[in-house]
């Protein structure tokens, strides 16, 4: 019997879906995209409307062969990649590749990986949506045009090997512009006044200065702009009388937030869990595709996570209501279903990101999930359940106090009914208890009541510059400005970091000198491309292509009409990036310039090649360059034979120039090092490590043994017949293990972090180990059977006893071992 074939994106889905459908279907995975534009060239026909030329992605040939073979044997092929534009494009590419084997092809999609959703999708197949494919293709072509056309100009005028991106460059501009705002910011001094007052009824309470006359207190107000002004105001207040001006009490309702969209999930996961956007999306993908839940087998826990919509299906709403009624009670389930409104322009093809089965609580699956998956699932589950619960209710009290020409305010909030907050574990507190945030409970007060001043304080403050973007605030800004799509935010952020245009400093984005330079060059020469409004407008055009109201080729043609002239001007007018640091060379006195090398940015003398002085540097809060005394590593043209990255001349932290060595710039991933010498012409030559022949021969093949150094630093003995013979042994020290009753010997090892230590050859039976090199004893003071060789700042290289309570040190100049 001929079986039907279902092709999904991820291998993880194969097992989950196969479990639902049984033996009547074959399930295969494309493992993401199978075709793309070529890597070696632009891959677009510029003479024919920029038609793309696709090819099978390198390494995917076997997958394509397997899909073609399965398609040939299948009765019907159902394409089931993810339910978005990218998934539609993957389905189209697969269909193009298998059309020689099977043309009986349909597209199916499901928002959740459940038996019901998959079977419903199979009952409602459709053709591939050419408009969705066109929208994805337009985005891909636009990105390829910008990258391939602009990058060579940047190579010539900034640094070779860098690149520009249509959306990433605009995101970079946001970060660079924010940094400039910070550097240009001038702090304003102001003073905050607080008064602790007592009325007829306890307890005492605190108030903040709110108004002076008709002016609301804010930075820049001259009455609190200096210490003298604050002291004068404080003196006036102390001479006056505090009285209650007004007491306003009202009940306030707080509605629950909607279930997660892609953007809100990334923002909240970053704030609450510290997850980068890339980690959030990767973890969510695993929850969507399915995880092993013991006897339940592989179960998908959440619906599709790439969505702009806050809409949920009726059955999901009903299931949530039943759960809320059963676990929290009737008052927590609103009589009317909570309907949340999506933002304008949101694509409503998919539901919000929610748990597939609300009955699978976080506690029920915690034992089966890695910590990160559990944390994210708990976040999604709680947000969804909360979105379907009753409002929280608060009793708000605002007290206004008058003293002469000043008005003071105190606010109190009391939770009456937790509503949706209960799913977070918050309950209605005792009315007489102190609030959770530590604020004091407001007493019962009446209008015109006289109050006693217990304490009056003033604190100097300064206005702060706008903060750098965190991942959460950058995602929020991108969404608000219409830059990119939520599904692309993680890739945008990763690209900016991978290109070293930005770096994370205290969990916030700081532009590098390279990033700032690239942004400035693009703004100067590609104003339209770097315009936020233009980028947002292009996203709307891509939406129109997806909706079928625009042709993708027309959008490309309109874009190129402005882009081609800008390219020509940039190629002719862009100048070589020269950034004066404001620092003079300490060797020749000429200006130092910011330069960009293989290992990042540095200060280089403008007198090069006559003066080769280079320095590391940092910037202060105002952007002023501060040279570092640390010498910059010299990057060589010698490639590491292990990873291909260049070697750099390194100086040991406690060493001298004569102790320099070559270290791989791929450190810490690659720890390859070499000894070297310089010729009379200054050329670096690698010195071959001398082979130290070890005593004895290989017990496996009889060839001589040699001492070698492992990548992590420790030495070992290996057969010279390598690679035919792979016999190795730890390098012995000749010192017996000091543990009583152990017949082992101390041998050289290295830790995971690359630090050499010495442990017993009988490990794990014996765990005796030392960080310092062992030497034969005994200790003349305590009789320890071994001593150790130490190297400290105070005493240099010396021999000492390892016993803590002994402290014996071999006298300097004393001979013998």
DSSP 8-state class, residue 809: B
Backbone angles phi, psi at 473, to 5 degrees: -75, -30
Which H or E run contains 443?
none
Strands 634-639 and 646-650: antiparallel
Rounded to 10 degrees, what is the CA torsion of 109, 111, 113, 118? -40
Identify the helix (H) or strand (E) that includes residue 600.
Answer: strand 600-605
Nearest-10 Cα torsion for 285, 303, 269, 334: -170
Half-sphere exposure of 310 (CA within 13 A, CB side): 20
Q: Facing residues of 747 across strands?
A: 732, 759
- Give CA–CA dist 678/686, Å, rounded: 9
**Backbone phi, then psi, for 428, in 5-degree steps?**
-70, 125
Dihedral of CA atoms 368, 371, 377, 378 in degrees, nearest 10, equals 110
Q: Alpha carbon of 261 to those of 307, 320, 620, 639: distances in Å?
A: 5, 18, 38, 46
Q: Tell me how far CA of residue 750 lies from CA of 81, 729, 746, 756, 771, in angstroms.
A: 47, 14, 13, 4, 10
The whole-angstrom separation of Cα 650 and Cα 635 is 9
What is the three-class DSSP state of 384? helix
Distance CA 326, CA 321 (A): 9
Question: Could you tell me the two tokens for 350?
Answer: 């998919």
End-to-end distance of the chain based on CA atoms, in angstroms? 83
Contacts 24+ apart (CB under 8 A), 774-778: 774/733, 774/735, 774/746, 775/735, 775/799, 775/817, 776/734, 776/735, 776/817
Known catalytic residue at 377: no
CA dist list (Å): 530 to 56, 170, 556, 643, 669? 32, 5, 17, 37, 36
Handedness of CA 15, 16, 18, 19 (dihedral sign): positive
- The DSSP line for 547-579 is HTSS-HHHHHHHHHHHHHHHHHHHHHHPPP--E
Catalytic residue among 25, 50, 288, 304: 304
Q: Residue 167 burial (CB < 10 Å; 0-12/13-18/19+)? A: buried
3-state SS of 320-355 is HHHHHHHHCCHHHCCCCCCCCCCCCCCCCCCCCECE
Could you tell me if 362 and 327 are in contact, meaning their C-beta atoms sit under 8 angstroms apart?
A: no
* Of 637, 631, 614, 632, the residue nearest 684 (C-alpha): 637
For 692-698, which contacts have Cβ atoms below 8 Å and span 24 or more sequence positions? 698/725, 698/727
Alpha carbons 187 and 249: distance in angstroms, whole number: 37
Strand intervals (E) in 665-772: 673-678, 684-687, 692-697, 704-709, 715-719, 728-730, 732-736, 745-750, 756-760, 769-770
Going by the DSSP 8-state scheme, the letter that residue 195 receives in this structure is: E
Residue 569 sits at the vertex; the CA angle it makes with 566 and 572, to the nearest 5 degrees, is 150
CB atoms within 10 A of CB 471: 26
Distance CA 359, CA 293 (A): 14
- Residues with active-site annotation: 304
């Amino acid at each position: 019997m001929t079986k039907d074939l279902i092709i999904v994106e991820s291998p993880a889905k194969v097992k989950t879906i196969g479990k639902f459908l049984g033996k009547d279907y074959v399930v295969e995975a494309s493992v993401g995209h199978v075709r793309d534009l070529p890597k070696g060239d632009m891959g677009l026909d510029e003479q024919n409307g920029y038609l793309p030329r696709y090819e099978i992605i390198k390494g995917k040939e076997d997958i394509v062969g397997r899909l073609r073979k399965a398609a040939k044997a299948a009765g019907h092929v159902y394409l089931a990649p993810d339910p978005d534009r990218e998934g539609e494009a993957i389905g189209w590419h697969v269909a193009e590749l298998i059309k020689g084997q099977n043309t009986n092809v349909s597209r199916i999609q499901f928002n959740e990986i459940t038996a019901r959703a998959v079977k419903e999708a199979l009952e409602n197949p459709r053709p591939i949506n050419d408009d969705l494919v066109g929208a994805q293709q337009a985005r891909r072509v636009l990105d390829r045009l910008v990258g391939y056309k602009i990058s060579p100009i940047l190579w010539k005028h900034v640094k070779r090997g860098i690149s520009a991106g249509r959306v990433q460059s605009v995101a970079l501009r946001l970060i660079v512009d924010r940094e400039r705002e910070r550097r240009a910011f001038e702090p304003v001094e102001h003073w905050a006044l607080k008064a602790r007052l007592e009325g007829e009824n306890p307890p005492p309470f605190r108030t903040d200065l709110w108004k002076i006359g008709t002016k609301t207190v804010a930075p820049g107000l001259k009455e609190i702009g200096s210490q003298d002004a604050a002291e004068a105001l404080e003196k006036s207040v102390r001479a006056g009388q505090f009285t209650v001006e007004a007491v306003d009490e009202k009940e306030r309702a707080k509605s629950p937030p909607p279930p997660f969209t892609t953007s809100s999930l990334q923002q909240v996961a970053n704030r609450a869990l510290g997850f980068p956007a890339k980690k959030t999306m990767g973890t969510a993908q695993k929850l969507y595709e399915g995880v092993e839940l013991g006897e339940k087998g592989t179960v998908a826990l959440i619906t599709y996570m790439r969505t702009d919509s806050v809409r949920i299906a009726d059955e999901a709403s009903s299931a949530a209501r039943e759960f809320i009624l059963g676990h929290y009670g009737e008052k927590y389930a609103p009589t009317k279903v909570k309907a949340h409104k999506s933002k304008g322009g949101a694509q409503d093809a998919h539901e919000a990101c929610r748990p597939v089965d609300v009955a699978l609580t976080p506690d029920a699956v915690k034992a089966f999930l890695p910590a990160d998956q559990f944390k994210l699932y708990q976040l999604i589950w709680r947000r969804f359940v909360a979105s379907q619960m009753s409002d929280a209710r608060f009793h708000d009290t605002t007290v206004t106090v008058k003293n002469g020409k000043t008005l003071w305010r105190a606010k109190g909030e009391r939770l009456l009914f937790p509503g949706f907050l209960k799913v977070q574990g918050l309950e209605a507190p005792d009315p007489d208890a102190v609030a959770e945030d530590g604020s004091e409970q407001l007493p019962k007060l009446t209008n015109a009541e006289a109050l006693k001043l217990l304490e009056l304080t003033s604190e100097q403050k300064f206005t702060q510059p706008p903060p750098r973007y965190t991942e959460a605030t950058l995602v929020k800004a991108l969404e608000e400005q219409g830059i990119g799509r939520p599904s692309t935010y993680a890739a945008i952020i990763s690209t900016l970091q991978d290109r070293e245009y930005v770096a994370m400093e205290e969990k916030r984005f700081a532009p590098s000198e390279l990033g700032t330079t690239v942004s400035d060059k693009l703004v100067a020469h590609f104003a339209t491309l770097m315009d936020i409004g233009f980028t947002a407008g292009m996203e709307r055009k891509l939406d129109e292509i997806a909706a079928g109201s625009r042709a993708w080729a027309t959008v490309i043609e309109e874009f190129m009409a402005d882009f081609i002239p800008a390219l020509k001007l940039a190629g002719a007018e862009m100048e070589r990036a020269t950034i004066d640091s404001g620092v003079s060379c300490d060797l020749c006195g000429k200006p130092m310039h910011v330069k960009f090398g293989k290992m990042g940015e540095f200060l280089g003398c403008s007198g090069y090649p006559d003066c080769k002085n280079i320095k590391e540097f940092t910037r202060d809060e105002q952007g002023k360059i501060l040279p570092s005394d640390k010498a910059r590593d010299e990057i060589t043209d010698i490639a590491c034979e292990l990873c291909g990255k260049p070697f750099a001349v390194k100086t040991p932290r406690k060493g001298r120039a004569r102790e320099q060595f070559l270290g791989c710039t791929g450190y810490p991933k690659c720890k390859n090092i070499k000894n070297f010498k310089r010729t009379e012409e200054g050329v670096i030559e690698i010195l071959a490590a001398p082979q130290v022949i070890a005593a004895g021969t290989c017990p496996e093949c009889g060839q001589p043994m040699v001492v070698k150094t492992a990548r992590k630093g420790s030495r070992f003995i290996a057969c010279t017949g390598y690679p035919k013979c792979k016999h190795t042994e730890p390098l012995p020290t000749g010192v017996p293990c000091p543990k009583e009753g152990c017949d082992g010997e101390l041998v050289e090892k290295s830790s995971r972090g690359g630090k050499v230590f010495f442990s017993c050859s009988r490990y794990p039976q014996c765990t005796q180990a030392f960080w310092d090199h062992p030497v034969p004893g005994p200790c003349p003071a305590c009789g320890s059977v071994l001593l150790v060789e130490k190297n400290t700042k105070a005493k240099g290289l010396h021999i000492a006893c390892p016993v803590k309570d002994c402290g014996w040190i071999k006298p300097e100049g004393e001979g013998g071992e």
